[in-house]
Structure 1
């Protein structure tokens, strides 16, 4: 097939072209927030609208449009759906065995105040899972945990999505920052350094927002001190590790520090007034240490498995010259690979898009989560036949969420390959020095479109650096802004929202969660924009 070059301004007016490019995004928001259409229907209709725009406005070949659908949908299945399937299966094993109830009791034993439980689970434990695994597993597991503690599913999903803003920039062993560095050929540690001023503010603010949502101003007055302890511990350790070590470990170390410091603090400090669910009885705190260890063991196994899969020596086994390279299969995706050409000013010269689909059944992080689930069947004493039944039940429940994720990724890939994303990025870049404020908004938009901070950096990192050179602002600073903006954009990503709904079986409620998170996401990305402007004025 002959190549097709992208045209980012078909209307020969960037404002008009951007207005057309924005239509699918506005349509998606309207279908979810105003019309309250179920997520899988809204995403399907959005793909169809984007296809019409790609064909009629951008003149994208039909074959490339269809191939973009397929590529995105397959990426939604592998690795994303595989990761979510493993995470939810692990959670269901814990529930069906009865050990999840012991986990709940162990959290109640630390504190029976629901506001502080939310900080422990959504903020601290969620950050630990994000730092180790990422890709939806933290939101799925922590949402389920909060529901088990008596939080309503919609609120639980929204809280966990919001909490994910704090660790998102360094998720999955720092992959977003590492990819950002690779895109602009810069040391990732420099991007980590530039990200920390704004990210530290976000990490400090998030636990207070969680408490405010849970119990309003009364909650802030009553538990501000432990909230401050958690916020300062996490943000402080995250900053120290990011500045001294690099982007791989800030979330994991900061989360572990918070999970130690806050419970110790709560041994000597108790709120005068508590917010307690009726089912959280004092008697439930009497759980033996052995029972607690067995109940939490599956998550400890999960941590070990993900850590092994994320380690350099393990990853090297699957490189082209590695001993297990034969277990990974890479395909050039037909009708896309080297067919679509990225054009200036998005790139310095015409550059073909590489479209590789990788099927890596062993090295995928989803496989490490599934292995942890299988090992956990022995720990929680689930018989093989029952485990298979639970797995099939999990798969059945996730069919619609998996379809939703697939169509969301189809939309994301089509937006990228057609040029829709680049049109909007160029509109931002045309704003001159005001772009400094908009640079995190571009990362925010990138995560909405792709569902991934890593993908957002890969998509817009080069443009951020190129625009920075034109307006005499550090490219590393703008890529850092893209990363932090993307972290606060994950809470409105259709992919992330679909994961939260899947975890607690509230498929069809995506619009309600989006309505819950949107205002906070807009507020936080605006704050990041102001902080980046401040960094530019002070240090650039």
Structure 2
């Protein structure tokens, strides 16, 4: 057997006490790559793709030297992360940004602004709140995987919101929906791997997120216009938050997969109806107005909304269609499961079984990116053949030519996202991330307060609340049994905390800076968004502690 073959054939079981036989020392060493990433980006202003590459190299060295992971397996773990980065994540981002760019290139973005101007009574802040909280939540519930952030942030820029404000508003508004994202895959994952009924986990999640939903719209107004924005628009924020909270509270008992969708739709409907009867006090710099000559007619309104309404309708059909055939199941049946060479069968769990994490799921027809791409193709044809009385002159060829330009524009973001995903997989497979969780789980009853931090860290590393559930669900359940806590509450905490951790995830930062066309601003966005992420996390920690001790009484499900 050659040396290479020998390296690839070596079995490896991650250990949470790999460094000096001490779980705390192991956790500190395991956190170093993530600390390096944020310090390089925040303190030294290093370009994000270099932060990711340097942290990836550091993580690989730590995996081999400190965690004793075979060199070959370390390298191949990174390649699985690269594959995951390209499909589904980069694939979705390219499709989503292309769809947005069609609106801009065709000139129909001005009509889109006019539509939201009418809904928001000429107040840019009200428009941004509806898009970032309601529309983004709807997309998150249906698609996930970066698509909601990419599309929403680009829409906010179209509405006239400054790029950095658009980015921060989007990722903060998105966070509370992530645990129920993509038809509640994170909640399902946490329940199944934690040994609990996903419905029970989702019910606990919904009762906790319903309280946080009321808070988030106020934060978005503060991001957009400080205390003045909150003072002038608090009734709208309250209406949006309560409506979304009701959706989160009630829906998990009926169909938990639709929690984000129902919550977002209720919030949107409530905002729309409320604004029919109430007019905000709008300062001049946030007042938007459309000249009478520029007001779009019915056809122009339909075509301006076409990309965004159509993408929601198409994705909703692929996820929800059950008449005669379960379309979601049929499309998922086209996924290709690939046991990752050199990793699957050699990466073992603590029970000595092959880790299922080493199976790469190549999504084809079940990938939201495929349907966003189809939407973009339809929009190309419609925009290329309908000029609305000659006002928007373009061609089908010109619309399709936007795609290669989009890919070229995204090239550095593609490198960043791929590198970040490679970093996540090396940290996860080597045991660096799990060591952090094991250290936190030693805190006994106090773990109820710290439980959401695990999900937060997991998503901050991997960029996915689903991955955070896969990493920590079993650990949460085990810690709950040891500390005599309700595992359903801790699994809910892990999943919601994962959504809040996505606000500061390097992958999410790369997506949103790409969407608003502001490369190199990751550090500035992180600096301004992190306090909201950490503040919401602390609120969640207090709620979870109260729920675990029975202090919330009948508010929590039985």
- Shift of the alpha carbon at 1:435? 0.7
SS of match in other structure, 1:35: coil
Confirm or deny that 1:436 pairs with 2:444: no
Partner residue of 1:106? 115
Q: 1:255 aligns with which of 259, 264, 267?
A: 264
Q: How many pairs align? A: 528
Task: Quote the Cα distance in structure 1 between the aligned partners of 2:348 and 2:274.
Answer: 57
Query: Which residue does 1:340 correspond to in 2?
Result: 347
Residue 299 (1) aligns with residue 308 (2)? yes
- Offset of 1:285 from its aligned partner? 7.6
Task: Within 5 Å, give how 1:398-413 maps onto structure 2.
Answer: 398-413=410-425
Deviates more, 1:418-427 or 1:354-363: 354-363
Q: Which residue matches 1:96?
A: 105
CA contact (8 A) 1:14 1:423 kept: yes
1:528 aligned partner:
540
3-state secondary structure, aligned to 1:357: strand
Map of 1:8 onto structure 2: 16
Deviation string 1:229-266 (CA, Å, 9 cap, x unpaired) is 11111111222212x31321121122222222212211
3-state SS in 2 of match to 1:123: helix
Separation in 1, partners of 2:468, 2:435: 15
Q: CA RMSD in A?
A: 1.7
Task: Say if 1:328 and 1:489 are closer, same or farther in 2 by CA, change over 3 A.
Answer: closer
Q: Which residue matches 1:57?
A: 66
1:308 to 2:320 alignment: no
Distance (Å, rounded) in 2 between the aligned partners of 1:531 and 1:217: 25
Partners of 1:481 and 1:263 lie apart in 2 by: 32
Q: Deviations over 1:121-147 (max 9, x none)?
A: 101111111111111111111111111
Q: Secondary structure at the match of 2:256?
A: coil
Residue deviations 1:505-525 (CA, integer Å, cap 9, x gap): 212211111111111111111
Moved more, 269-278 or 448-457: 269-278
Query: Displacement, 1:361?
Result: 2.7
Match of residue 165, structure 2, among 152, 155, 174: 155
Aligned residues of 1:108 and 1:285 also touching (Cα < 8 A): no
1:445 aligns with 2:457: yes
Alignment of 1:309-328 (within 5 A): 309-311=318-320, 313-318=326-331, 325=333, 327-328=334-335
1: CA distance, partners of 2:363 / 2:26: 39
TM-score w.r.t. the length of structure 1 is 0.94
**CA offset digits 1:215-238 (Å, max 9, x no partner):** 222222211111111111111122
Alignment correspondent of 2:508: 496
Flag the 1:284–1:438 CA change in 2: closer, same or farther, 3 A. farther
Q: Measure, in 2, the Cα distance between the counterparts of 1:315 and 1:441.
A: 32
Matched, 1:486 2:494: no
1:40–1:403 Cα contact (<8 Å) kept: yes
Secondary structure in 2 matching 1:121 = helix
Q: Which residue of 2 aligns with 1:238?
A: 248
Q: Which aligned pairs between 1:363-402 and structure 2 lie closer than 5 A?
A: 363-381=366-384, 383-402=395-414
Is the 8 Å Cα contact of residues 124 and 288 (structure 2) preserved in structure 1?
Answer: no
> Residues 498 and 229 of structure 1: is their aligned pair in 2 closer, same or farther, counting only changes over 3 Å?
same
For structure 2, the residue ranges without an aligned partner over 5 or more in a row are 1-8, 385-393
Counterpart for residue 416 of structure 1: 428
Distance in structure 2 (CA, Å) of the matches to 1:278 and 1:300: 25
CA gap 1:119/1:284 in 2 versus in 1, 3 angstroms:
farther
Give unpaired runs (5+ residues) of structure 1.
Answer: 320-324, 344-348
* Superposition deviation, residue 75 in structure 1: 0.5
Q: Deviations over 1:84-124 (max 9, x none)?
A: 11111111111111222111111111222122112111011
User: Quick check: 2:347–2:354 contact (8 Å CA) kept in 1?
Assistant: yes
Q: 1:106·1:285 contact (CA, 8 Å) conserved in 2?
A: no
CA distance in 1, matches of 2:197, 2:284: 46
Q: Confirm or deny that 1:360 pairs with 2:363.
A: yes
